[in-house]
């Protein structure tokens, strides 16, 4: 039987929070790819390299904060999906003003996905590479802080 424990709920909550953080960043960058003239920094030609660098750093942080590779994978994939939805919401946000009428605002999700497709592909690659590296760095740091097996053996021999 599947039992929800406090540790499992905390792990699920951590995955959701990190996926939402990744989603906000991917969403804003996808909006930046669609409409660079109305976003910050304002430009005529959005830089995919800058977006890749930002996503790589986000991947490093997500990998470092994740408990394991499974969690990081779920966070990255869910974050990209959430990011597409956030980019679409930013794109149709003028429709919340009653004076602005956007017919069939739901149909623009395909335009957002089409315009942000290079960013989505870059996000998949950079988030996973950054996540793997960040996870390996944290595992290395945790392993250095742990007591060695040889130290335990020496302590056991001294006790005898």
Domain boundaries, the chain: 6-159
Q: Quick one: which of 79, 71, 62, 89 has its CA closest to 20?
A: 79
Arithmetic mean of pLDDT, 115-121: 91
Cα dihedral 132, 133, 134, 136 sign = positive
How many other C-beta atoms can be found within 10 angstroms of the C-beta atom of residue 91?
22
Arithmetic mean of pLDDT, 58-68: 93
Arithmetic mean of pLDDT, 98-125: 84
| 83 in Cβ contact with 54 (< 8 Å) | no
CA–CA separation, 114 vs 15, rounded Å?
27
Arithmetic mean of pLDDT, 132-147: 84
pLDDT of 145 over the 80 cut: no
Q: How confident is the model at residue 157 (pLDDT cuts 50, 70, 90)?
A: low
Residue 120: how many CA atoms within 13 Å on its side-chain side?
A: 18
pLDDT of 143 over the 70 cut: yes
The pLDDT of residue 133: 95
Alpha helices in the chain (DSSP H): 6-34, 48-65, 69-92, 108-145, 149-159
| 51 in Cβ contact with 122 (< 8 Å) | yes
| 60 in Cβ contact with 52 (< 8 Å) | no
The pLDDT of residue 3: 82
| 15 in Cβ contact with 71 (< 8 Å) | yes
CA–CA separation, 14 vs 8, rounded Å?
10
What pTM was estimated for this model as a whole?
A: 0.81
């Amino acid at each position: 039987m599947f039992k929800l424990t406090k540790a499992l709920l905390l792990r699920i909550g951590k995955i959701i929070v990190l996926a939402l953080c990744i989603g906000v960043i991917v969403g804003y960058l996808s909006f930046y790819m669609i409409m660079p003239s109305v976003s910050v920094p304002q430009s005529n030609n959005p830089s995919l390299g800058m977006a890749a660098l930002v996503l790589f750093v986000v991947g490093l942080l997500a990998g470092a904060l994740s408990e394991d590779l499974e969690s990081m994978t779920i966070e990255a994939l869910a974050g990209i999906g959430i990011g597409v939805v956030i980019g679409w919401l930013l794109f149709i946000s003028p429709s919340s003003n009653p004076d602005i009428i956007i017919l069939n605002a739901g149909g623009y999700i395909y335009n957002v996905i089409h315009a942000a497709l290079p960013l989505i592909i870059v996000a998949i690659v950079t988030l996973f590479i950054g996540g793997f590296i960040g996870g390996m760095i944290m595992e290395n740091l945790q392993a250095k802080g742990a007591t060695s097996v040889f130290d335990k053996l020496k302590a056991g021999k001294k006790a005898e």
